[in-house]
Structure formats: C-alpha cells, structure tokens
Chains A and B, each alone.
Chain A
Amino acid sequence: MAADRSEYGEALPPRQELARLLAHPAIWRAGRAARMAVWPSGFPALDEGLPGGGWPQAGLIEILPSRLGVGELSLLMPVLAAVTRRPGARWCAWVAPSLRPFAPALEVFGVVLDRLLIVQASRSGARSLSLWAFEQALGSGACDIAFAWARQPRPRQIRRLHLAAQRGRTLGVLFRSRSEAEEASQALLRVAVEPLEGGVRVTLLKSRGGARGAIDLQWTARAEPAERT
C-alpha cells in the first residue's frame, strides 16, 4: 500500500494542472459557488456579492423586506426589464401581489408590459390557492420570472416551490415578512432589504457559495424615476 501511495504521489500533476482539472463543471467545491446561469441584477455591487454574479435563472430566492414597499420591488426592476425585453421572453408572473402593480411606472422602468401575468386569487382559501398558482407558474416552464407574496409558507412548501422552479427553469421570487428570517428555508438565496436615503441596504442572509453581509445600493437615475422630474 505504501509503495502505491508514493507512486501516486509522484504522479501528482503540477498546480496549474490541478486547477484545470478542478474547473470541470461537474466538480463542486465547498466554499465556492457552483456554476449556475444567472441574470445580472443591474447593480454591479450586488452582482459581486451574489453567487454566480447575479440572480439565479432557475431556483427560488426569498426577499425579506423590513416593510412592504421599502424598495424591494425597485431592486428587482432592472432584472425584470432586462428579461422581458429579451426576444422570445416567457411570462413574468405576479402571484397574489399585495397592491395593484402600476403599469405606467413599470413602463418607465423599461418593463415590457405584455409579458406580465397578474394572478390574483380572490376566493376563500386564497392563501393555499396562491401557493398552488405560484407552483404552477414556476413548474410550467412558461415563465422566466415569477413573483409571489405569501404569508407564512411552511418549509416543506418552500422546498416544493424550489424544485418546481428548477424544473421549469424559472427564477422564483418569494416576498416574505422580515420576521420569518429565522425559519429554515431551502431557497437558494435569502435577502433582507432595508431602506436607506435614496437607496436600499441588501443583507445576504443565506447565499449558497456567495458572500455574506450587507451591501448598500444607491438608486441610479435610471432605476429611480423620481430623480428625473
């Protein structure tokens, strides 16, 4: 056995050779982001922190704003605009939005409106129906992005949603309350959002293979229409 090992040791390739071998996409090393297809977030500072350099193209992420409307939607507008403007774009579904998405503002951000699909379950049992609709949108393969506003989804449901998003190659974005940050979740990314003066502070609570900590983002003139008046 000892002879074998020494032989093997002598045959070890040099450092560069090892790096080349380890760059194989099938090899994943702990502490590094697995290679995955991403959409650029539109904020270079955020892209650096996100695993893979952007929002994942297939999988579920969670956004946990401190309050509804602190800037979590503006944070996603650049990616929504870029994805809907792509030729051959699929739907971008909004499941159970808490208020009315305002079409003229979306258009100012450059979002192509005819790719949007608003799903609003109004009947009783709307909570479970919304989660069902979200899972359908994620798993159907007909959506590029699906947003959902859900109250207290269970960890099992989140796991289902994540698998559906991977099956349908969809970026699923689940907006949850900040108070649910302590709960376990299968999502690829968990991002807390707090308001700043003229911007937003993004804290990566969980990012598989990405950086941790807070990133301060300032709205650029394009991302914030108010500054153009």
Chain B
Amino acid sequence: MNQLIISAATEGAEAANPLVPNLWEMGVVLAGFAVLFFIVVKFVVPMFEKTFAERAEAIEGGIAKAEKAQAEASAALEEYKQQLTDARAEANRIREEARAEGAQILAELKEKAAAESARITAQAHVQIESERQAAVVSLRSEVGTLATTLAGRIVGETLEDDARAARVVDRFLADLESQNAGVAK
C-alpha cells in the first residue's frame, strides 16, 4: 500500500511540474471567482452598505433629535425664568403702587375729615352765634316787656305806648351795658 502511494507520488512528480497549471482548473477558478464577484457586487456589498448607512443615519438622526430636544428644553426653561422674573417685577410694581395709592387715599381721607370737622365746627359757631343773637333779641324784647309791665304795675300808669317804652328800655339797657363795661374795665 505504502509502496504504491510512494511510487504513484514519484511518478506524478516526474510527470508534472508544480508551476505548470492545469488549464481546466484555471477556468473553474476564473468562472467561480467571476460568479462570486458578481454576487458580491450586485447583492452583498450594496445590502451591507445600505444597512451601514441606515444605521449611521439612525444614530446621527437620534443625536440630532436629542440635541434639538435639549435646545428646545433650555429655550423653554429660559422663557419660564424670564416670565418668572417679569412676574416678580410686576408683583413688586403692583405692591408699590398699592402702597402709594393707600397712602394717598389715607392722606385724602385725613384731609377730607379735617375739612369736614372744620366745616362742622364753623357751622356750629355760626349756629351758636345766631342762636345767641336770637336769644339776645328775644331776651331783650321779653325783658323789656316784663320790665315795662312790672314798672307799669308798680307806677300805676300805663306804659303801653310802645315807642316810648322801647326808648326807656333801650336807654336802661345801654346804661346797664356801659356800667358793665366800666366794671369789666
């Protein structure tokens, strides 16, 4: 068996130079490689490249989307902060205004109350004065009447003559007033 293989091998070695190709084998390799190359160009590479491109796009698209969302979120945050600041300023302004307005109202009220009280006081003065005047007038006439009536009774003659009686009373009262003024002095 061994002898057979060795002799076959040596015979083969004598028969063929390893550098001389078998033309049929070359043909098969050429045809086989051409078929493989065709399949690779037509199907394998385009399909893999498409997948790679889609994947790259999916990843980059995701990153872009995330960046956009981030930007939107920070813009919204900025807006809210701005609104908050505005609202605070507004609240402060309103508070200040209210304070000022309150103070003004208070001042007005005070002024009004003072004016009212002054007015009431003045009115009272006037009223008192007029009442006093009325009292003086009524007193004067009544006292005069009483005194004349009394004097008439005492004297026994009528002093019903008004004009004369009034003159007597006035004179008496004027004397009385001058007397009082002298005492006061």
Chains A and B bind each other: no
